Amino acid sequence: PLTPTGCPVSPRASAFDPFEDGYQQDPPEYVRWAREQEPVFYSPKLGYWVVTRYDDIKAVFRDNLTFSPSIALEKITPTGPEANAVLASYGYAMNRTLVNEDEPAHMPRRRALMEPFTPEALKQHEPLVRRLAREYVDRFIDDGHADLVDQMLWEVPLTVALHFLGVPEEDMDMLRQYSIAHTVNTWGRPQPHEQVQVARAVGKFWQFAGKVLEKMREDPGNPGWMQYGIRKQKALPEVVTDSYLHSMMMAGIVAAHETTANATANALKLLLEHPDAWRDLCEDPSLIPNAVEECLRHNGSIAAWRRLATKDVTIGGVDIPAGAKLLIVTSSANHDERRFDDADCFDIRRDNAGDHLTFGYGAHQCMGKNLARMEMQILLDEFTRRLPHMRLAKQRFTYVPNTSFRGPEHLCVEWDPMLNPERADR
């Protein structure tokens, strides 16, 4: 095969398939060959140019005019007419939010909606995170085993996300199903028979978001980031549009909870796979903030992100034509030896761990990064204090096949409850 610019595609680039188990299990390892030998390549299977080195990816993030984020939430696998008809029947109209909005519309909207993310504003959510972390651990601490994803790591960030957004607590299982459908719809490759089922869940999620928004509009004085947006709309109707609010109502639930649930599961998996690091954290909790950064670097919950080239451009010496779609593999950037010494080594004391690109970079960098960090730090604090003796159970980890959202579907751990340092009923 040839690239759209008429160059031959190497055999490894031809074989690249991010929906395969190799990428799902370990994205930076799967593209190690590219990072080392062919850092920017065209993938005929995906129809995307794939960028794998730290400096190239940072340069792409830095220039959001040349590299538009408009395709960030586009379906990576176009769906067939049947699934499209299902989506249409729900009036599905997911459009620009923040993450996929171009300038000049993006920055005024980001500024208008930033205040609830300031450190002072985030402080008020800490007691809730702490209370939830304690209550959920209480539920299973005497059992000696748990699937941390099913029993805690999904619901706690979801509850915090709903609280932050101002959405009344809803059926958690339903929202979990909706969120996974949204991930598969956006970044996955559902088989034709799955597409319709996914479309139905996404359509229902869209309608649910619309209903919640309607209710909020009746009483926009309540706390919450979405109510804040509704109030801002009064003063800035062109900046905070109806389409934005409806799209964000749905995308926000996913952005705020699935990312954090996965990040915490990845972090605990990584720490328990490195018992020395885990023991150090249990003995010295002041290491937790840097350990969180190192977990986000080494095995973050977003593996890759997307941009669209708006003009002919060169990345890492490779000519890319206008209109090219880019898969920027941030998880690979995070393992780039040029940036991180001994990059594959997991080191909770690494001094530049925070340079990772898991939250993106530049104008669109994750607005919720400090909320996510705070949640992860509190959850790790509770686990290291109450379950320092837990270990991974024997298991094979599975992932929902997609390019971007990444975390184990289950995380089974075990411990001897007789050795619990602190009992649930105390």
Residue 23 CB, nearest approach to ligand HEM (Å): 17
What is the rounded distance in angstroms from the CA atom of residue 321 to the CA atom of residue 45?
18
- Contact set for ligand HEM, span 285-344 (CB under 6 A): 300-302, 305
176 beta partners: none
The token duo for 14 is 């031809």
Is the Cβ–Cβ distance between 307 and 326 less than 8 Å?
A: yes
Residue 67 touching ligand HEM (CB under 6 A): no
CB atoms within 10 A of CB 121: 16
Whichever of 27 and 300 has its CB closer to ligand HEM, that residue is 300
Whichever of 98 and 333 has its CB closer to ligand HEM, that residue is 98
Query: Among 49-57, 199-207, 317-325, 358-366, which window interacts with ligand HEM (CB under 6 A)?
Result: 358-366
Rg of the chain taking only CA atoms, in angstroms: 21
Helix/strand/coil for 191: coil
Of 208, 359, 383, 415, which one interacts with ligand HEM (CB under 6 A)? 359
Of 163, 232, 350, 364, which one interacts with ligand HEM (CB under 6 A)? 364
Q: What are phi and psi of 318, to 5 degrees?
A: -105, 130
What is the rounded distance in angstroms from the CA atom of residue 103 to the CA atom of residue 115?
20
Of 52, 259, 299, 334, which one interacts with ligand HEM (CB under 6 A)? 259
Residue 415 touching ligand HEM (CB under 6 A): no
Residue 372 CB, nearest approach to ligand HEM (Å): 4
Residue 229 touching ligand HEM (CB under 6 A): no
Residue 154 touching ligand HEM (CB under 6 A): no
Residue 51 touching ligand HEM (CB under 6 A): no
Of 127, 128, 139, 124, nearest to 386 by C-alpha is 139
Q: Are strands 145-147 and 412-414 parallel, antiparallel or unpaired?
A: antiparallel
Listed in sequence order, the DSSP H helices in 90-141 are 106-112, 119-123, 126-140
Residue 121 touching ligand HEM (CB under 6 A): no
Residue 368 touching ligand HEM (CB under 6 A): yes
Residue 191 CB, nearest approach to ligand HEM (Å): 27
What is the rounded distance in angstroms from the CA atom of residue 117 to the CA atom of residue 44?
40
- In the complex, the residues that contact ligand HEM under the rule CB under 6 A are 61, 69, 98-99, 110, 252, 255-256, 259-260, 263, 300-302, 305, 358-362, 364-368, 371-372
